[in-house]
Structure 1
Amino acid sequence: MGKQMTEMLKGTLEGVVLAILALRPAYGYEITSWLREQGFSDIAEGTVYALLVRIEQRGLVDVEKVPSEKGPPRKVYSLNARGHAQLEEFWATWSFLAERLEGLHQGGK
């Protein structure tokens, strides 16, 4: 990923993670793996874990500790009502920006 892509992803990563969690509950490594499979190869696990801590502190997710076959229990995150509301706001903002950027891309139409 180039520097511009990295900077743009920083601004949208919370929304991306909330969208992933809207599909199904997941733990940090699963989220990081999915992002990498989607082409975000430079995403660091630490970045995702720090984001998960922030969205947990803001009350956007519910957390369940699930036993792990290897090591300590995993924290599985699921989107709660506040998280769904935040995700809807993210998509509305995304649509607004995408429409305007596409207009600029098409020559200001």
Structure 2
Amino acid sequence: MNPMSDKPIPPQPARPDITRPDMASDIMTPLAIDPPKAGEMVALADDLYWMRFTLPFRLNHINLYAFDTEDGWLLLDCGINSQAIADQWQIMLDGPLSGRPICG
């Protein structure tokens, strides 16, 4: 059912341009590495890094990602607008991300 009305959701056409894993047969497991500590990045691939920032409420952390590109660091999921997040970003910018520009 459509959560916005009592009408059923019509079937969606097949999208041959999108592939999805067969979730029934594939077992997905967590990464076999420890999460990054404050002020550190963990390499997930040659050009992909994982960071974790703490949050001051029930959702106690967020995962952030940095791609090392030819133009500099491309940052994903930059957090919420708070002083605590800004302070954690400053630690990263002065530490592991220093020496390269932020390109996006």
Higher helix share: 1
Per the normalisation by structure 2, the TM-score is 0.24
Higher strand share: 2
Structure of larger gyration radius: 2
Per the normalisation by structure 1, the TM-score is 0.23
